[in-house]
Structures are given as C-alpha cells and as structure tokens.
C-alpha cells in the first residue's frame, strides 16, 4: 500500500473513531442531560403523561394536598393544580410548561415526577405490571392553622411571617405578601402562562419573591436581642444599669434619639432588662459601643448571620451585620447595635433568633420537608432535627427569655400577649427615609416555659400605614394570632 492510500485510510479511521466517541458522548455521557432538558418534547410528553405526586400537609385524616395533578382531556394528560393557592405559593412554587419549576416543585422534582432513584424498583414493577407510573408525595412541616393565620394577618399588606418549632427547626408557617396563584402558571396554554408571568414580574410589589428568605431588611430594635446576648455573654446581667439619656451623640452627624423623643427610665438610667422592655435606643447604642464590633458580629454569627446553609428550596439571602470587615466608626457601631446602618436580616433569620433563645440557646436548622413518600405512601425519607448552632449558653438564654417576657408583659410588645401563656418577644421599628413610614417587626415565642412556636413578623413600609407605625401596634398582633393557632388557643 503506497503512502497516499495509507494516509487516506488513517484519516478515515480517525473520522470513524471521532464518530464513535461522539456517539458515546451523546448517548452515554450526555444522555441524562438531554433526557432532562425541558426543551425535549419526549421529556415533556412523558412528564405530563404520568401523575405528578402531591405536595401535602398533615397526616391521616388531616392530610390535605396543597399541590396536586388532575386528569384532563388535553394532549398533555395531567394538569398541575394548587388547592393551597396563594397562601402556600411561596413554599410550593410552581410547575410551569414554559418557566420550569420553583420552590418545593423544583427542590423535590425527581420524587414528585417519579424519576427519583429510590423509586426505580417501583417504576420497574409498574412497567412489568402495566400499572400507571406515578410520582411520590412530599409532606411539608407547615401547620395549617398557623399558615392561615399568617396569610390572613398579612392581607392587604407587604410583608412576611415565619413560624418555627424551636425544638426541631420545623417550619410551621411561611407566608409572604403579596402572593400569587400558581394555577395561572401551570396551565397547558403557553400564551396564558406568559401573560400571567408577565403580570407578576411587572408588578412593583414583586409577588413572586418569597420575602421570608429571599430578601433582607433592617431589623430595627429586634436586633437588640443580639446586642443584649453579647452583653450578657461578657458578664453583664439583666440588672446591670445602663446610661439612657434622651439623646446621645457619637461624633459627626445626627445624635441617636429614642422613639418619639422619649426619656428612658428615671434620671436617664435603666437596667438592661428595662431598656429591652422599653426598647431604649440610646441605652443600646451606648451598650453596643461597650460590647464592641467583634463581639457583636460574633454573636450575630452564632445565631446564623452570614450563613445560608439551610434545608430550604428557595435561594436564601445572607443576613449581615456590617457590609465589610473594616473597623466601624463609633457612630456606625452605635447604629448597628440598634439594628440600623448596614444590619439587614431575613424574617427567617430573626425567627431563628427567637427560636434560639426559646430553645435554651440552641438554634435548630430550619426545614420544610417532614417526609418523602413513595406513591403507595411508604416512607422514603424522614427529616430528623439537626443542631444548627449554639448561639448562647443556657444561662444567657434563660436571662434573655425572662427579659423578652418582660417586653410582652410590661413593655412595647403587649400586642402579642396571650392570656394564661408566658410569651417572650421583641418589637422593632426600622426607620428609613425621614418622613416616610418605617418597616416594623415583631419576634417572639410561646410558651416561654415549654416553647412550641417561635415567630417573626415583618411589615414593609409600603403596607400603607402612617409614619407613627410601630412593631408593637401592627406586627405583634399578627404574631399573637400565629402563636395562638399553633397552641390551639
């Protein structure tokens, strides 16, 4: 064989080898990606040809689907529906023909679609017996009554509510307002889906955003719980006397004043417990400068600030104390100590602060999925409670709990009081632009001696209340309703 022929033969062999490699790359290496690509019509038909599993709350007779599939006469056999509607939308998310999956629909999609590896034997059995392949179920931790109380409390407002089981981290309520109905996004009509989505995206109030975890806000005076925790950790006690003048300057700029220019205590002195009960700004601003930036940041981090490693389907915004690691000017440190300046937190994070205090200083990792079930309701997975962090010692937690009970019993948080129940809490009013309404907060827990629920309520200034709004007047009653719902009172 002469040289030119050998060269042609070698080139042909190389081309065949390349074709073989390409075929294996497409059919073996990339097969899963192509199979799961939403643009693959075979995948689309297969997805809608089987019953997607339900997302449910409750067990036994109390079991209720908040998302499920129903049979249609369309070419796409099953239609995703949302009996839970807007009240559960921030949690369930949506399953859309055009825009894919969000929320639990996304996080647990392989189970709901029946494609999870743990369902392989079931799929094989269905194929052999000719039984219709179906997806598994996702059982949420949400408490029906608490979720409804949270959603009702936010009606007509812009804000968020989170309730946790302090002992386990289970999310009992997660509501964001305004919300949306996922049904319009799960239609089989692409034009209707795009129209619904466009209206939601163009809304100035961002109904698709889950405000409980996806956005952070200045926590105002609820952050004083963290400042108090840092002070107690340094050896102070609830009876430590603090300076509490009507106003206090920390250098250039406007001095820090108390709400409505009030005077705290007699002779401008208050104990730490009294300062928390009355939410005295000047006392905590001065306290923050004594505690120091490092201790304040360390204490916040112990409660979860700066972390996002949670068992949740949504992107979790990172709560922060300072925007950078530089040493803060004294005035900025004073502002940070009262939850202003660069301090921002998600409502979930502030619920974790309340839960950590209630649970003896231990913060449990929040989670939404209680159980994963096969189509026959057999258990595939059960979530076990997990310690997230040790925020404070049991002694400090006990001191904070008693101080927070004083906030509700005789301070700014009276709107959260429940007759016959020891309730701990802290109000927050976060000032923004001068002359504009503030954002308002409440965090709390109950019963203090047997904690079953911790809650955070956040109301955005766009809710329509006046410039004199306070967390005690507006947010605390919503928290009370949620706690009562969990406690059955």
Q: Kindly write down the DSSP assignment for every residue of 201-256, as one continuous string.
A: HT-TT-TTS-TTTS--B--GGGGHHHHHHHHHHTT--TT-EEE--SEE--SSSPPE
What are the b/e assignments for 309-343, b being 16+ CB within 10 Å? ebebbbebbebbbbeeeeebeebbbbbbbbbbbeb
Q: In angstroms, how far is CA 436 from the centroid of its own chain? A: 27
Q: Which of 96, 109, 218, 221 is catalytic?
A: 221
User: Could you tell me where the DSSP H helices lie in 25-141?
Assistant: 31-36, 41-49, 85-92, 103-107, 109-113, 120-129
Q: How far is CA 436 from CA 205, 340, 439, 469, in A?
A: 17, 16, 10, 10
Structure tokens at 255: 């001095």
Query: How many Å apart are CA 330 and CA 382, to the nearest integer?
Result: 49
> Does the annotation mark 221 as catalytic?
yes
- For the chain, the distance separating the N- and C-terminal CA atoms, rounded to the nearest angstrom, is 95
Tokens 């009294």 belong to 274
Q: 281-291 and 224-233 are packed helices; what angle lies between their axes, rounded to 10 degrees?
A: 40
Partners of 409 in the β-ladder: none
**376's torsion region: left (phi>0), alpha (psi -120 to 50) or beta?**
alpha
**Under a CB-based contact definition with an 8 Å cutoff, are residues 129 and 146 in contact?**
no
Residue with tokens 């290496």, as numbered in its chain: 29
Catalytic residues: 221
């Amino acid at each position: 064989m002469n040289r030119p022929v050998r060269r042609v033969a070698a080139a042909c062999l190389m081309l065949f080898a390349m074709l073989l490699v390409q075929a294996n790359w497409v059919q073996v290496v990339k097969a899963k990606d192509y199979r799961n690509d939403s643009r693959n019509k075979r995948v689309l038909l297969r997805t809608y040809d089987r019953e997607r599993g339900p997302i449910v709350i409750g067990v036994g007779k109390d079991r209720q689907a908040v998302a499920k599939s129903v049979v249609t006469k369309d070419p796409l056999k099953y239609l995703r529906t949302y009996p839970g509607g807007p009240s559960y939308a921030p949690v369930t998310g949506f399953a859309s023909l055009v825009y894919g999956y969000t929320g639990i629909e996304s996080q647990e999609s392989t189970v709901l679609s029946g494609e999870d590896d743990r369902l392989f034997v079931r799929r094989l059995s269905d194929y052999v017996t000719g039984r219709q392949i179906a997806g598994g179920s996702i059982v949420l931790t949400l408490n029906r009554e608490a979720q409804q109380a949270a959603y009702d409390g936010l009606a007509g407002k812009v804000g968020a509510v989170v309730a946790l089981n302090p002992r386990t981290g289970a999310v009992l309520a997660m509501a964001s307002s305004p919300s949306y109905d996922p049904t319009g996004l799960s239609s089989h009509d692409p034009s209707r889906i795009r129209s619904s989505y466009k209206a939601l995206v163009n809304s100035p109030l961002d109904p698709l955003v889950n405000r409980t975890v996806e956005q952070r806000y200045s926590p105002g005076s609820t952050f004083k719980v963290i400042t108090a925790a840092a002070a107690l950790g340094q050896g102070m006690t609830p009876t430590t006397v603090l300076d509490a003048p009507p106003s206090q300057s920390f250098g250039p700029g406007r001095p820090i004043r108390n709400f409505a220019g009030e005077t705290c205590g007699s002779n401008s002195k208050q104990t730490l417990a009294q300062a928390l009960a009355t939410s005295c700004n000047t006392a905590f601003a001065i306290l923050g400068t004594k505690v120091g930036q490092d201790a304040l940041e360390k204490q916040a981090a112990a409660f979860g600030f700066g972390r996002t490693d949670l068992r949740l389907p949504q992107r979790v915004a990172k709560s922060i104390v300072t925007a950078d690691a530089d040493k803060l000017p004294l005035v900025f440190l004073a502002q940070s100590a009262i939850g202003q300046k660069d301090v921002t937190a998600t409502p979930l994070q502030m619920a974790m602060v309340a839960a950590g205090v209630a649970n003896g200083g231990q913060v449990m990792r929040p989670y939404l999925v209680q159980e994963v079930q096969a189509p026959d309701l057999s258990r595939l997975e059960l979530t076990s409670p997990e310690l997230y962090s040790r925020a404070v010692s049991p002694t400090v937690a006990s001191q904070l709990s008693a101080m927070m009970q004083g906030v509700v019993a005789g301070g700014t948080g009276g709107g959260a009081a429940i007759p016959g129940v020891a309730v701990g809490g802290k109000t927050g009013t976060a000032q923004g632009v001068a002359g504009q309404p503030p954002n308002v907060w409440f965090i709390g827990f109950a019963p203090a001696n047997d904690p079953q629920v911790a809650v955070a309520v956040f109301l955005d200034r766009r809710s329509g209340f006046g410039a004199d709004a306070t967390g005690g007047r507006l947010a605390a009653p919503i928290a009370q309703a949620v706690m009562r719902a969990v406690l059955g009172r």
